[in-house]
Amino acid sequence: MGKGPICGVLSVTEMFRHLIRSCMILPVTSHKALAFSFIAIGILVFVLARQISTLKSSAWARFYQRHPQAAEKNPLSVHAGTERSIRLGAVMWRIVGAAIALNGLIRLR
């Protein structure tokens, strides 16, 4: 890179070029690593879907116990922490995990 108008200081255009180069897309190996990371995270979310759903549903149940005014405003609050709520959440988290893993598979192509 060339020097700017003042000796030892980069010009604005040189600083901009340097910024653009540092933000450019990483080499292909990094894309593969990112793709494998997405696949691994997706599988992890898929496998841990039940635990994630249980944690989230029980947290909402505790919230509604501590804040009865909020529970009155939300008619679905009675379902927080129930087995049905946990199962529904687990299905949703499995869909999220599959979508993340699919994103990784698409990035591998």
Domain boundaries, the chain: 27-108
pTM over 0.75: no
pLDDT exceeds cutoff 60 at 81: yes
Surface-to-core class of residue 4, CB atoms within 10 Å of its CB (0-12 exposed, 13-18 middle, 19+ buried): middle
pLDDT tens readout for residues 16-66: 666 666 555 555 567 888 899 999 999 999 999 999 999 999 999 999 999
